[in-house]
Amino acid sequence: MPVQTRLKQIRRPSADDMVIGPPPNLPLFEGLEDESLVCPGCEKTVTTGVSALTLQALFQAPGRLLFHCECDAYGEVDRAGSVGSLNNGP
């Protein structure tokens, strides 16, 4: 099971930010990597098996890459990956 990484919550996007969403359905992206990204507001899964690094490489945002969830939270897709893993237990 992929490690779940909670995106860093951002109050408002700036003009330099690239914003994805809100999506019609979640997860927005699915893949086979060992990381999944989670909304910082409602903790719904944004990506399943797709890492922050992959999204950064895919979109190549000039500023921050943000996900705007249906709960109205903005989450930053970290450039270095692994902002904060959720504890899923054993």
How do residues 53-77 score in pLDDT, each as one tens digit? Answer: 999 888 888 889 999 999 999 999 9
Are 29 and 10 in contact by the 8 Å Cβ rule? The answer is: no
Where does the pLDDT of residue 78 fall: very low under 50, low under 70, confident under 90, or very high at 90 and above? confident
- Which band of pLDDT confidence, cut at 50, 70 and 90, is reported for residue 80? low
**For the segment 9-42, what is each residue's pLDDT rounded down to a tens digit?**
999 999 999 999 887 777 888 999 999 999 999 9
Q: Tell which residue, 76, 70, 75, has the closest CA to residue 23.
A: 70
Beta strands (DSSP E) in the chain are 3-6, 8-10, 18-20, 29-30, 35-38, 45-48, 65-68, 74-77
Whether the model pTM is above 0.85: no
3-state DSSP assignment of residue 58 = helix
Provide the β-strand partners of residue 19.
66
